[in-house]
Structure 1
Amino acid sequence: MHWAYEIAKRLIEKHPTKEVFTCASGISPSGSVHIGNFREIVTTFFVVKALESLGKETRFIFSWDDFDRLRKVPQNVPASFERFVGMPYSDVPNPFGEGSYAHYFEKEFEQSLQAFGIQPEFIYQSVEYQSGRYSDYIRIALKKRKEIYEILMRFKSSPFSSEQSEAFFPITLYCDSCNKDTTAISAFNEELGQFEYTCTCGNEGVQSLGGKNRIKLNWKVDWAMRWMMEDVVFEPGGRDHSSATGSYNVSKAIAKEIFDYEAPDYIAYEFLGLKGTNEKMSSSSGNVLTPNDLLLVYTPEIILFMFAKYKPNASFHIGLDDDVLRNYSEFERYQSAYAKGLIKEDDIRLTLELACGGSIIRHPSFSQVASIFSLIGFNYELLQTSLSRTGQEFTMEEINPISDRVAHWIIYWNPHRLVSINQVNNVLYYNSLTTEQRRKLNELTELLRNETSLSGDSFMNQIYAICEEDDKKRMRESQKDLFQNVYQLVIGQSSGPRLPLLISAVGREKMVKLLTFS
């Protein structure tokens, strides 16, 4: 059974009378949201889809933790923004235009989700906190702050301190003057819910709970409180939150003991890597590959397929080299089998359905397009014609999603794949061939002059017949040798597209000219 369905069935068994299953995810808009963060939301998305396919009503929420402090200035943000460190993301200005820092990175990610059909209910924590919606629960946390301190100390190796317990407050308080969290609480009136504080900027101020306050619960308390507020039954979390003393287990205890709420089911997901580096992707450092970056190379359904086929606790790397060809080929093979009803394995079938919704998406083969697109100068009409000549009929609407991505992949990630048609005969290479090799090339040239159709098996069978031998192994070697000589003489490469497609792209007359030396 697919992992998303295992989780969905476990949730249904655990909550047999629940009418709406609320599944959550969320992150801080610390910078461009990368594909590692994308695993957070897509894991929840797949569980929601599984629940819905099992007949359950769902609520899919995504919390933007934009009332968190700016901790670090990413590489793609001006260094001058260092002066805003300590302010909530929602109040830091947009480094690239109008609005706020939070809004810029939130909208960037939200727009990318539209391509995947992922449409959660977005909750902006800066709005929720400052509206006063959480004030009653902040009061509860403050009233029970010593119990919270005791819970936190259970998960630490340092000893309990009565002095620290007395001084502990489970909140962040932003200064009214500098808007930073560099404050210290000097007095607290529990009855009035009023704080006196000092700030490193020199300000001394007073804040009260309720209304538009500048007070936020600290992360592990905040997480537990929001589970209770939204009645969350499932939420994934990164590996860094998932150790025995990690955030989830701490928040789980706080949810139960402070807010009287049973923590949601939880699954830890592994981080993703970029192929060729051991570094962890980080929005705050700028070492990222975003969903929008990935969408320039992969179609949305293939990205979803890649994420759905791995269990969340399995790590994998994403590369933009020849892995792209392998990933497309795998998806195309499985989708073809699915369309014919040939897939029996539940895991693969459900993975395709989670990625594509059961629809069959018709595009030309990525590898085929990649093999000839630069040869024809990235000309879309010529591509359509070349495919048609080999019996593959596609509309431009079916071609464009693949050809756009092939062009981007070659130009920006694999420029060594930029291939052009030889403009003059490669006499030097031809002279290096044996008499037998030249004879086979001449036979192929005659076939090209006389054969009218490049599609179907008949044409390829005639090419294979040029290398006919009793020894099958020697025959395959002979065929490989012939093809390699053709590629060298036509495109100056040792390999290339299937011959019918190459001939269609280059043109019959040009092929004959490049293969004729007498």
Structure 2
Amino acid sequence: MTTDLRTAAMDSKAWPFEEARKLLKRYPNGAPPKGHILFETGYGPSGLPHIGTFNEVLRTTMVRRAFETLSDVPTRLVAFSDDMDGLRKVPDNVPNKEMLAANLGKPLTAIPDPFGKFESFAHHNNAMLRDFLDRFGFEYEFMSSTEQYRAGRFDDALRAILRNYDAIMGVMLPTLRAERQATYSPVLPISPKSGIVLQVPVTVIDAENGIVSFEDEGERIEHSILSGGAKLQWKVDWAMRWYALDVDYEMSGKDLIDSVTQASKIVRVLGHRPPETLTYEMFLDEKGEKISKSKGNGLSLEQWLTYGTEESLAFYAYREPKKAKQLHMGVIPRAIDEYWQFRGNYAGQEWPQKLGNPVHHVHNGKVPDEALPVTFGLLLNLASLPGVGDAETLWGFVRRYAPDTSPEKNPALDQLIGYAVAYGRDFVAPTLKRRPPTAMEADALRDLDARLAALAPEAGAEAFQNEVYEAGKAHPFESLRDWFRTLYETLLGSEQGPRMGSFIALYGLENSRKLIAETLDAVESASPAAPTQPAA
């Protein structure tokens, strides 16, 4: 670690460093007694993992790496699965719903896998989570709630819960409605009769031996909550985990603010300090609704990676964690281009600017050198045109524009071309509708065509862009913005589009003039002429 880097990191306003400095203040004398800083993320495996799950591990990892820039104290990251929870409702996006409905209330690890692949529903979803995280190379330790409870690793903490039972009830009861207060218990015994996670009042009989009593199917029984005989209510369970594992840092969504508050109070009742926390805003779907793993709305990781890169997803997740952001197909192209824009700036920046650059955190300071000769947006505009629906054709245009490129030498560019073809085919091309120009717009297009005809094919993007500007200024558009909108709507069939000089250079002067000719033909015919096959 260089002195300049660590000094810059101490002053950086990038949010991962701001979070990491909380941990430096937490332990001003160096490592805690356990010898490391423990980061935790939680996962409720009642539904399939989604991007929100990935997002939490990613952001926590960014804070972890920022702390490692500031300090030599070792760190660990635990990805904790609450897989002993009772299944409360059947998710919308899974098969065999009748089987799941017949097992409502049982721990997720005691319910058969509706997909028929794993030991239980929780084992299936835990495997999905680990695949999720392994794909991105996260360094983490997976921890199962069921395994921890059953192995007795939480037994000392459970005894502490029973010893402080009345004080914990004093924290929780004021937060509940009157009817819930009458039945609430921090402890949820596992019924020895039905295997269901019971929501019943309990009486502490022997805290040191973990014995409680409760009513189960009409019978009053005494039961040990140790070694898997019970689990805890969510907020108490969270506090117990912080206490038992000595967690130093955990972030959570805005919807869990109350849970963080109550869990923090409970962990103090147990004589321990709650972890440092960050509350992030939620991802929203296209309708502005919260993404839910049970509903399956929003984007899946697989959907994003069909049309965009891993780095673009990490870049999108990094930005402004305290601001709500929509997460749908339409955000992918912009995320890709903005990622590459920040990546292109990184090499020329000094340390303070680098540490504030999102790509530093996406790549943990090891930002690749490869640059792009064209933007993803430009590739997408080109891939959406008639006759340019495959990677080989698109590569033909790119090689003419940037002769020294190839799939072998430019693997990132080759990857983006594949994404552009897929996204253009599935989301852009079906929406394009080239409109006929007005008489004034047609005059401007003829003027532009004449100006382009006077240039050599190899004149370059700047020369083409200058003529685009001059043609627009020569005609009575209210602003050049209206001229560019005309070009996009009449030539490309879209309300938005690329820098036209770059587009002409990439698509080729001859093909671009053919586009103008086809558009002008629409002025004189009821329907546009059949598109001409472009020459790559």
TM-score (norm: length of structure 2): 0.78
Which AA in structure 1 matches 2:282? F
In structure 2, the CA distance between the partners of 1:116 and 1:418, relative to structure 1 (3 Å rule), is: farther
1:453 to 451, 454, 458: 458
| Distance across 2 between alignment mates of 1:193 and 1:485 | 75
Higher mean C-alpha deviation, range 221-230 or range 387-396: 387-396
Partner deviation per Cα, 1:335-393 (whole Å, 9 max, x = no partner) = 222233279646633x3211123303544521011011133443212222211211264
Match of 1:308 in 2: 318
Q: How far is the alpha carbon of 1:52 from its aligned partner?
A: 0.9
1:367 to 357, 366, 377: 377
Which AA in structure 2 matches 1:230? L
| Distance across 2 between alignment mates of 1:414 and 1:9 | 44
Q: How far is the alpha carbon of 1:5 from its aligned partner?
A: 0.8
Q: What secondary structure does 1:4 align onto?
A: helix
Partner deviation per Cα, 1:15-72 (whole Å, 9 max, x = no partner) = 0222411111102112123333444323322210110111332111111101111111
1:82 to 73, 78, 101: 101
Say whether the 8 Å CA contact 2:444–2:471 is kept in structure 1.
no
1:103 to 113, 123, 142: 123
Match of 1:441 in 2: 449
Say whether the 8 Å CA contact 1:373–1:383 is kept in structure 2.
yes
| Distance across 2 between alignment mates of 1:342 and 1:474 | 46
Match of 1:36 in 2: 52
Which AA in structure 1 matches 2:20? A
| Distance across 1 between alignment mates of 2:214 and 2:153 | 23
Higher mean C-alpha deviation, range 260-269 or range 248-257: 248-257
Partner deviation per Cα, 1:415-444 (whole Å, 9 max, x = no partner) = 545689xxxxx9x97999867854653553
| Distance across 2 between alignment mates of 1:209 and 1:378 | 62
Say whether the 8 Å CA contact 1:411–1:418 is kept in structure 2.
no
Q: How far is the alpha carbon of 1:136 from its aligned partner?
A: 2.6
Q: What secondary structure does 1:59 align onto?
A: strand
| Distance across 1 between alignment mates of 2:150 and 2:18 | 38
- Structure 1 residues not aligned, in runs of 5+: 421-425
Pairing 1:410–2:416 present:
no
Pairing 1:253–2:265 present:
yes
Q: Which has the higher contact order (CA 8 A, sep 6+)?
A: 1
Pairing 1:10–2:22 present:
yes
Match of 1:348 in 2: 356
Q: How far is the alpha carbon of 1:279 from its aligned partner?
A: 2.0
Q: Percent identity?
A: 23
Which AA in structure 1 matches 2:242? W
1:236 to 251, 271, 284: 251
Match of 1:51 in 2: 67
| Distance across 2 between alignment mates of 1:263 and 1:302 | 34
Partner deviation per Cα, 1:212-266 (whole Å, 9 max, x = no partner) = x331122222222211222211111222332xxx2222222221222x2111112
- 5 Å-filtered alignment, 1:12-411, equals 12-16=24-28, 17-18=30-31, 19-56=35-72, 57-78=74-95, 79-80=97-98, 81-99=100-118, 100-153=120-173, 155=175, 169-182=185-198, 184=200, 189-190=205-206, 193-194=210-211, 198-200=215-217, 207-211=223-227, 213-242=228-257, 246-258=258-270, 260-275=271-286, 277-310=287-320, 312-321=321-330, 323-341=331-349, 345=353, 348-349=356-357, 351-358=358-365, 359-360=367-368, 362-363=371-372, 364-375=374-385, 376-391=387-402, 393-396=404-407, 397-411=411-425
| Distance across 2 between alignment mates of 1:64 and 1:263 | 19
Which AA in structure 1 matches 2:80? S
| Distance across 1 between alignment mates of 2:444 and 2:317 | 51
| Distance across 2 between alignment mates of 1:185 and 1:475 | 75
Which AA in structure 2 matches 1:117? G
Say whether the 8 Å CA contact 1:329–1:367 is kept in structure 2.
yes
Partner deviation per Cα, 1:126-170 (whole Å, 9 max, x = no partner) = 111111221232223223322321232355586999xx6xx9753
Say whether the 8 Å CA contact 1:485–1:494 is kept in structure 2.
no
RMSD (Å), alpha carbons: 4.0
Which AA in structure 1 matches 2:284? G
Q: What secondary structure does 1:378 align onto?
A: coil
In structure 2, the CA distance between the partners of 1:429 and 1:55, relative to structure 1 (3 Å rule), is: closer
Aligned residues between the structures: 491
In structure 2, the CA distance between the partners of 1:493 and 1:142, relative to structure 1 (3 Å rule), is: closer
- Structure 2 residues not aligned, in runs of 5+: 1-12, 522-536
- 5 Å-filtered alignment, 1:476-515, equals 488=490, 498=500, 501-502=503-504, 505=507, 508=510, 515=517
In structure 2, the CA distance between the partners of 1:194 and 1:507, relative to structure 1 (3 Å rule), is: same
